[in-house]
A and B are shown apart, each in its own frame.
Chain A
């Protein structure tokens, strides 16, 4: 028996290094790059959250991945954060934002999808391709434009609309609930192409026979909507809702670009709160603790997505 074949036998007897597993080497560079910039900072963030890090002490002394002259303070940051009214306000506002924007997104998505899949509408395909145009716009573009729309001055589009309706002007970004409303409208507009795509494809999968059978039975438009359309699109819309709710929860750009979560820090969604705490008030330790609380919620969304979403289907088909 030659040496090479003996080695091959030995390798075959070793399940961990099967020949095929060598292919893992092709995936590892990407995985390593991703981990280096995503998981590694996450671990370091965990470390920072247990120290009293500020720019002045964290960067003193130098050294990579050390904590400089910052000292270990245990769970003090978490205690400080959890006993801070601003944190609970931020968390409450975030969940309220998730709820209101989700309702608006589903409503608009379903409404628009119903309109453009109506059989009587001519050129529906063309209209649908126009509808998803905003998807290609960079988020920062869309958000700065909407900030212009909600400009407090008379020139802002929203105020011009109010003027035209005979109402006075509103200082959109200087009042808490007006700003919150503006966030919601913008989030709705950002997400509607996604919702429309999902809902339209779900609506197109509803068998025509069902509608025809219901019509024969004398069901009107709304009865058919309630008993035929809604049950058939429920599941895809639920999947989409999980994803879009997670996106709402993690929304950073809208509050940040509109008025930095103002006025008076009242509208800071959780990620904005952590970001400002760290970068504008130099509380790296507390900022890290806030971010980790947010990450725990994102983890919950991930779990929900694995349990209820279509994620597993996607990988299984593959």
Chain B
């Protein structure tokens, strides 16, 4: 599939960039030192460049320090609870994967007995599949693993319907807004952008009424109803995003297809949709993450057995008995895939658009 190869290409690009940047810097530094030795560059200039670069690196390092701190806490074997005294050091003293094992718990495919009746005989073939243990928590001294898997399943149950419902309404709307002229078009666009930019708190503001409505129809604590809500909140930003993406597809392609006698629906399926594959992928990621990352509404609506991952994470911090290392590991296991996927999708958002929607 072309989309997969496109994604793979982008990732390879990123990896190459990450590896090459320090190497290129080293080459440049060596060249600059050489130039200085040959007397082409004054010591002052060299020093200023080195100083400015070092300062910038220091600033970036300071800003990203909380992430480093949480990563180090997660692999420290000795980290006490949040409320216990413990010193800080740049590297953990007894690094251990135990906190992550605690998060994941057992990853075991139980043995299955499959029997096949051979037709016309009384024979049956019985297969016993072996137990496949990817990870056995008790091997690592973890007796009582976290609820991560349960929360994960809940999150999937919420996010997948969100994604499906949202895509069903977003794709046609984005196409119409990008390619057709109709009454209310500008008003709808205007409203969507306005909501995306400044309306972040309106959802919480109307939460009282939303909760009352859900209770009245008995749908509070229902993950599918929550998914419908998330799909609704995902509509403005993602419709706008996909619309801008489709704007970039040259109209002449469509005209060529129309001249060749293609009906409008074929123009959509064979030109617009394939050409906006990357935009569709981005929107897919963002709508999926809407449900995956939302906290306030989920916490208000759901009870403990239906908690999604963000609510589960927040529930952990109030349990004083949870060691900080385990909490960090839980938080990282939740957040790091999200971060990678998000940053990847974010690159597709053009400069102008990043202005209109990415404010937390």
Q: Identify the closest chain B residue to A196 (Cβ).
A: B63
User: A21 near B182 (CB under 8 angstroms)?
Assistant: yes
The distance in angstroms between the C-alpha atoms of A130 and B206, with both chains bound, is 36
User: A138 near B84 (CB under 8 angstroms)?
Assistant: no
User: A153 near B83 (CB under 8 angstroms)?
Assistant: yes
User: A127 near B206 (CB under 8 angstroms)?
Assistant: no
User: A298 near B188 (CB under 8 angstroms)?
Assistant: no
The distance in angstroms between the C-alpha atoms of A144 and B328, with both chains bound, is 10
The distance in angstroms between the C-alpha atoms of A42 and B239, with both chains bound, is 22
A137 interface hit (Cβ, 8 Å): yes
- The interface-forming segment of B104-112, B164-172, B274-282 is B164-172
User: B216 near A63 (CB under 8 angstroms)?
Assistant: yes
Q: Identify the closest chain A residue to B217 (Cβ).
A: A64
Distance to closest chain A CB from B315 (angstroms): 10
B152 interface hit (Cβ, 8 Å): no
User: A301 near B198 (CB under 8 angstroms)?
Assistant: yes
User: B354 near A151 (CB under 8 angstroms)?
Assistant: no
Q: How many A-B residue pairs have CB under 8 A?
A: 326
- The residue in B84, B197, B205, B359 that gathers the most chain A C-beta atoms within 10 A of its C-beta is B205
- The interface-forming segment of A6-14, A116-124, A211-219 is A116-124
Question: Main SS of chain A's interface residues?
Answer: helix
- The residue in A64, A132, A133 that gathers the most chain B C-beta atoms within 10 A of its C-beta is A133
A167 interface hit (Cβ, 8 Å): no
**B-chain residues with CB within 8 Å of residue A122 when the two chains form the complex:** 25, 28-29, 49, 53
Distance to closest chain B CB from A318 (angstroms): 6
Given A27-B177, A115-B56, A124-B56: A151 and B235 interface contact (C-beta under 8 Å): no
A180 interface hit (Cβ, 8 Å): no
User: A30 near B235 (CB under 8 angstroms)?
Assistant: yes
A170 interface hit (Cβ, 8 Å): no
User: B360 near A29 (CB under 8 angstroms)?
Assistant: no
The distance in angstroms between the C-alpha atoms of A256 and B327, with both chains bound, is 19
Distance to closest chain B CB from A123 (angstroms): 5
The distance in angstroms between the C-alpha atoms of A294 and B201, with both chains bound, is 9
User: A145 near B70 (CB under 8 angstroms)?
Assistant: yes
A225 interface hit (Cβ, 8 Å): no
User: A151 near B83 (CB under 8 angstroms)?
Assistant: yes
User: B209 near A243 (CB under 8 angstroms)?
Assistant: no
Distance to closest chain A CB from B225 (angstroms): 10
The distance in angstroms between the C-alpha atoms of A53 and B213, with both chains bound, is 13
User: B314 near A120 (CB under 8 angstroms)?
Assistant: no
Distance to closest chain B CB from A11 (angstroms): 15
User: When each residue 297-313 of chain B gets 1 if its CB lies under 8 Å from chain A and 0 otherwise, what string results?
Assistant: 00010000000001001
Q: Identify the closest chain A residue to B338 (Cβ).
A: A138
User: When each residue 278-312 of chain A gets 1 if its CB lies under 8 Å from chain B and 0 otherwise, what string results?
Assistant: 11000010011001101100100110011001111
User: B324 near A133 (CB under 8 angstroms)?
Assistant: no
Which residues in window 58-83 of B have CB below 8 A to A?
59-60, 63-64, 66-67, 69-70, 80-83
The distance in angstroms between the C-alpha atoms of A137 and B337, with both chains bound, is 9
**B-chain residues with CB within 8 Å of residue A168 when the two chains form the complex:** none
The distance in angstroms between the C-alpha atoms of A42 and B204, with both chains bound, is 11
A201 interface hit (Cβ, 8 Å): yes
**B-chain residues with CB within 8 Å of residue A139 when the two chains form the complex:** 293, 295, 360
A34 interface hit (Cβ, 8 Å): yes
User: When each residue 226-248 of chain A gets 1 if its CB lies under 8 Å from chain B and 0 otherwise, what string results?
Assistant: 00000000000001101110110
User: A141 near B331 (CB under 8 angstroms)?
Assistant: yes
The distance in angstroms between the C-alpha atoms of A160 and B60, with both chains bound, is 21
**B-chain residues with CB within 8 Å of residue A132 when the two chains form the complex:** 343, 346
A271 interface hit (Cβ, 8 Å): yes
The distance in angstroms between the C-alpha atoms of A216 and B196, with both chains bound, is 45
**B-chain residues with CB within 8 Å of residue A294 when the two chains form the complex:** 201, 205
User: B355 near A239 (CB under 8 angstroms)?
Assistant: yes
Q: Identify the closest chain B residue to A46 (Cβ).
A: B209
Which of A33, A275, A287 has a CB less than 8 Å from the CB of B169? A33
**B-chain residues with CB within 8 Å of residue A45 when the two chains form the complex:** 205-206, 208-209
Q: Identify the closest chain A residue to B207 (Cβ).
A: A275
Distance to closest chain A CB from B220 (angstroms): 10
The distance in angstroms between the C-alpha atoms of A136 and B244, with both chains bound, is 21
Which of A63, A115, A135, A247 has a CB less than 8 Å from the CB of B59? A115
The distance in angstroms between the C-alpha atoms of A135 and B239, with both chains bound, is 21
Distance to closest chain B CB from A43 (angstroms): 8
Distance to closest chain B CB from A211 (angstroms): 16
**A-chain residues with CB within 8 Å of residue B355 when the two chains form the complex:** 198, 239-240, 310, 314
Given A116-B60, A141-B335, A247-B360: A44 and B212 interface contact (C-beta under 8 Å): yes
Distance to closest chain A CB from B51 (angstroms): 8
Given A65-B213, A136-B338, A149-B66: A24 and B184 interface contact (C-beta under 8 Å): yes
Which residues in window 120-164 of A have CB below 8 A to B?
120-124, 126-127, 130-141, 144-149, 151, 153-157, 160
B36 interface hit (Cβ, 8 Å): no
Q: What would 5 A/B residue contacts be, using CB atoms closer than 8 Å?
A: A22-B182, A30-B170, A45-B205, A130-B64, A318-B177
4 cross-chain pairs, A with B, having the tightest CB-CB distances, nearest first = A250-B201, A136-B342, A23-B180, A37-B232
Residues of chain A having any CB pair with chain B under 8 Å? 16, 18, 20-24, 26-27, 29-31, 33-34, 36-38, 40-42, 44-45, 48, 53, 58-59, 62-66, 112, 115-116, 118, 120-124, 126-127, 130-141, 144-149, 151, 153-157, 160, 189-192, 194, 197-198, 201, 239-240, 242-244, 246-247, 249-253, 256-257, 271, 274-275, 278-279, 284, 287-288, 291-292, 294-295, 298, 301-302, 305-306, 309-312, 314-315, 317-318
